[in-house]
């Protein structure tokens, strides 16, 4: 059996199995819809309950506990809605089961239609009966009240009351004897009424006609009441519940059958899944077996090639190691020729290099029988096969050199060597041909093969690299000596830069480093910056009485702490003015005004936290306080001074304003100008202070005291 036929047969089998599985899944999936089953079975149960509730409403109408038929009508409407739900069996019920259910449902509907007709008759008859029952006591009471007003009417009133009692008892319980008694009483009442009319003046009782109405209502009750009771008995006897129970039992039977069928379908699906898995596994195993056999055969075919390639790779690795080592180029070329002879298995190999001054090729390295005779020999450009390869830059393989006009026999004639096959490839370095690599007489084969050409071309590349490395080595040695001198000079300048950093701002040091070979230029540029001034309150008077050493020790501690905070917030220490500090904030990526405000708040916090430790130097130092003033605006930044002595700083009116704000600040506070406040107002909690007058300014400067950042 062919592989293609097996795949077609297996694929066809899997396709048909999947179709069958899809059919089985469709057949079994419907039963999984439990909501449909719950809806259907709940509808049947509600129908059974509604029929019982319907009977309760009928009995309440009959016994007079209710006079409204609204509940009865609502229940009938609910029954109709439920019938619409069960009118169509679910899809998972088989066709045969659906036919049986529809037959039972048709019988139920016939019974229900008959019950509804009887209910309509019952409502009409019961309404008449209720009307008579309600009207009869009222009419009786009116007659009794009228008769009691006349002495001759009292016996007749007693008869009417007795008849009313019997009528009400008859309404509650149908009794043939009581019915006969009521008929007799109505007859005697009619006679008594006529006798009463003959003995009593008609003007004394105008309502004697009510006796006739009373007799009519009594006969109506006797006639309608048995019919209503008969209708109730007939309605109660209609087998609606029986039909619904039969319908429910049949539905449960077919639903159970559907579940069992679904279980069977799923079992078939599992079996088909197992068969498909087995078939797929068999096909995969067959396919893998074929691939293993092909791979084994291919590996056997490649084994010999791998052994050859392994030798080639090892040779290439040894050549690469030789090239990568900084050594004599002659040793590298000897290694390349030796590995070429070993791997390709040739009688002789040689490297010819181009002598640009002499305009010819010379044998630089030779290995083989006549190697000593060829060393130092030269070949003119364009002469022989090597001259042709040098001109074209393409590898040439010649199987019969003596018949090739490009081959020169001069060397063979001089040495007595016989050339049978030859491979010549150019040595190229940086897209320039610097010589050729040549192999002669491939042993055990008539000529060179493609694999030999690829390998030798790789050796030629390595040889070109080795030659170039040799040329570069001498240049690198000279550059190394020059570099050593340059590094010594750079190290000396670095030391000088580190020494300057302790006294000059970092930016100036960097500028000096960039311009150390040229004169620093005076001048600057206009930039927007935030300037901070800080000052210790009353430190001048305190320093007059302290020992100089204590003053210096304290200032070193104080300036170090404050400077670290300023630099951490991105500021630049411009200068120290006695116990005061001038700092500049110009960070373009962030908000320099906010950085300055944060630095001022941190400086005040640092003063509060270090008072106790400063008190160890002198008790009065623990009572020190500091002022901080901040302003933002355009200033001139650059080198100011003379060519021999200059200072890197900022100058301008906004610097003076910052100094004036610091002088107006309360001890322990951070006071900022309006321009600074506008940059930070969304990030700080501040209080507006009294404006201050600044020299050379017409308008007072509004200030804000910063309490904290948010």
User: Is residue 188 over pLDDT 80?
Assistant: no
> Torsion over CA of 120, 121, 124 and 126, rounded to 10 degrees?
-110
Spatial CA neighbour of 529 closest among 470, 482, 601, 590: 590
Which is more confident, 207 or 288?
288
Average pLDDT of the residues in 437-462: 78
Spatial CA neighbour of 672 closest among 709, 636, 641: 709
Share of the chain above pLDDT 90, in %: 17
Spatial CA neighbour of 82 closest among 59, 115, 108: 108
Angle between helices 210-237 and 154-172 (to 10 degrees): 10
Report how far residue 5's alpha carbon sits from residue 9's, in angstroms, rounded to the nearest whole number.
6
What pLDDT is attached to residue 673? 94
In CATH terms, the fold of domain 325-473 is Beta-Lactamase (3.30.450)
Beta strand 670-673 with 626-641: parallel, antiparallel or unpaired?
parallel
> Torsion over CA of 350, 354, 358 and 361, rounded to 10 degrees?
30
Spell out the CATH class of 509-709.
alpha beta
For residues 668-688, one letter each, b for 16 or more C-beta atoms within 10 angstroms of the residue's C-beta and e for the rest, the string is ebbbbbebbbebbeeebebee
Spell out the CATH class of 125-237.
mainly alpha
Average pLDDT of the residues in 162-189: 73
Sequence-separated (6 or more) residues with CB below 8 Å from residue 586? 527, 528, 529, 530, 572, 592, 637
What pLDDT is attached to residue 501? 47
The pLDDT tens digits for 592-644 are 999 999 999 999 999 999 988 998 888 888 888 999 999 999 998 876 666 55
Range with the largest mean pLDDT of 160-169, 254-263, 307-316? 254-263
List the chain domain ranges: 125-237, 325-473, 509-709
Range with the largest mean pLDDT of 69-73, 129-133, 196-200, 607-611? 607-611
Range with the largest mean pLDDT of 20-24, 149-153, 691-695? 691-695
Mean pLDDT, rounded, of the chain: 79
What pLDDT is attached to residue 672? 96
Q: Which of 70-74, 78-82, 397-401 has the lowest mean pLDDT?
A: 397-401
Grade residue 573 by pLDDT with cuts at 50, 70 and 90.
very high
Which is more confident, 691 or 352?
691
Report how far residue 95's alpha carbon sits from residue 180's, in angstroms, rounded to the nearest whole number.
60
Angle between helices 240-324 and 34-63 (to 10 degrees): 160
User: Is residue 407 over pLDDT 70?
Assistant: yes
What pLDDT is attached to residue 197? 57
Distance between first and last Cα of the chain: 85
What pLDDT is attached to residue 582? 95
Report how far residue 710's alpha carbon sits from residue 706's, in angstroms, rounded to the nearest whole number.
11
Instruction: Please check whether the two domains, 125-237 and 325-473, share a CATH topology.
Output: no
Report how far residue 205's alpha carbon sits from residue 212's, in angstroms, rounded to the nearest whole number.
14
pTM: 0.37
Range with the largest mean pLDDT of 8-12, 68-72, 672-676? 672-676
What pLDDT is attached to residue 204? 45
User: Is residue 502 over pLDDT 50?
Assistant: no
Report how far residue 393's alpha carbon sits from residue 399's, in angstroms, rounded to the nearest whole number.
19
User: Is residue 335 over pLDDT 50?
Assistant: yes
User: Is residue 144 over pLDDT 60?
Assistant: yes
Instruction: Tell me the DSSP string of 688-699.
Output: E---B--TT-SS
């Amino acid at each position: 059996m062919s592989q293609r036929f097996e795949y077609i047969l297996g694929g066809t089998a899997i396709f048909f199995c999947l179709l069958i599985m899809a059919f089985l899944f469709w057949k079994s999936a419907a039963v999984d819809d439990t909501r449909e089953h719950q809806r259907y079975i709940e509808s049947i149960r509600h129908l059974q309950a509604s029929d019982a509730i319907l009977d309760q409403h009928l009995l309440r109408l009959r016994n007079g506990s209710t006079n409204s038929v609204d509940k009865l009508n609502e229940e009938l409407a609910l029954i109709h809605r439920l019938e619409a739900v069960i009118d169509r069996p679910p899809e998972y019920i088989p066709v045969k089961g659906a036919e049986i259910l529809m037959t039972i449902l048709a019988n139920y509907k016939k019974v229900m239609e008959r019950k509804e007709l009887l209910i309509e008759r019952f409502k009409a008859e019961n309404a008449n009966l209720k009307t008579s029952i309600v009207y009869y006591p009222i009419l009786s009471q009116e007659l009794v009240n009228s008769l009691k007003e006349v002495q001759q009417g009292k016996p007749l009133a007693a008869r009417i009351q007795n008849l009313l009692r019997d009528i009400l008892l008859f309404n509650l319980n149908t009794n043939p004897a009581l019915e006969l008694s009521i008929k007799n009483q109505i007859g005697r009442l009619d006679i008594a009424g006529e006798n009463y009319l003959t003995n009593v003046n008609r003007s004394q009782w105008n309502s004697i006609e009510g006796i006739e109405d009373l007799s009519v209502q009594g006969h109506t009750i006797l006639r309608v009441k048995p019919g209503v009771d008969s209708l109730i008995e007939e309605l109660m006897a209609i087998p609606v519940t029986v039909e619904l129970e039969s319908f429910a039992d049949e539905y449960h039977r077919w639903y159970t059958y559907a579940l069992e069928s679904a279980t069977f379908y799923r079992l078939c699906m599992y079996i088909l899944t197992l068969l498909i898995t087995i078939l797929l596994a068999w096909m995969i195993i067959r396919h893998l077996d074929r691939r293993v056999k092909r791979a084994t055969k291919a590996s056997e075919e490649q084994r010999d090639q791998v052994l050859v390639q392994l030798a080639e790779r090892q040779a290439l690795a040894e050549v690469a190691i030789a090239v990568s080592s900084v050594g004599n180029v002659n040793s590298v070329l000897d290694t390349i020729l030796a590995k070429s002879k070993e791997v390709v298995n040739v009688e002789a190999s040689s490297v010819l290099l181009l002598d640009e001054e002499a305009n010819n090729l010379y044998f630089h390295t030779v290995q083989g029988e006549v190697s000593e005779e060829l060393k130092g020999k030269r070949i003119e450009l364009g002469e022989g096969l090597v001259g042709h390869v040098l001109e074209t830059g393409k590898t040439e393989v010649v199987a019969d050199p003596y018949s090739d006009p490009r081959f020169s026999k001069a060397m063979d004639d001089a040495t007595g060597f016989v050339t049978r096959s030859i491979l010549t490839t150019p040595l190229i370095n940086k897209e320039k041909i610097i010589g050729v690599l040549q192999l002669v007489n491939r042993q055990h084969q008539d000529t060179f093969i493609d694999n030999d050409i690829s390998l030798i071309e790789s050796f030629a590349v390595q040889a070109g690299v080795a030659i170039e490395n040799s040329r570069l080595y001498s240049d690198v040695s000279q550059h190394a000596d020059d570099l050593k001198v340059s590094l010594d000079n750079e190290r000396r300048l670095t030391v000088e830069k580190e020494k300057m950093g302790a006294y000059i701002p970092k930016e100036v040091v960097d500028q000096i480093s960039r311009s150390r070979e040229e004169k620093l230029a005076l001048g600057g540029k206009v930039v927007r910056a935030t300037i901070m001034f800080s000052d210790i309150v009353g430190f001048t008077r305190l320093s007059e009485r302290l020992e100089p050493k204590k003053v210096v020790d304290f200032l070193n501690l104080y300036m170090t702490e404050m400077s670290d905070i300023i630099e951490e917030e991105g500021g630049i220490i411009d200068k120290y003015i006695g116990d005061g500090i001038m700092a500049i904030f110009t960070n373009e990526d962030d908000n320099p005004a906010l950085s300055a405000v944060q630095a001022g708040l941190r400086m005040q916090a640092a003063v509060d936290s270090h008072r106790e430790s400063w008190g160890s130097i002198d008790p009065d130092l623990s009572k020190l306080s500091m002022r901080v003033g901040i302003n933002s605006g355009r200033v001139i930044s650059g080198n100011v001074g003379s060519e021999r002595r200059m200072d890197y700083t900022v100058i301008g009116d906004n610097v003076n304003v910052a100094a004036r704000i610091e002088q107006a600040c309360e001890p322990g506070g951070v006071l900022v100008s309006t321009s600074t406040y506008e940059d930070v107002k969304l990030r700080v909690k501040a209080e507006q202070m009294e404006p201050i007058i600044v020299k050379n300014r017409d308008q007072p400067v509004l200030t804000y005291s910063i309490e904290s950042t948010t």
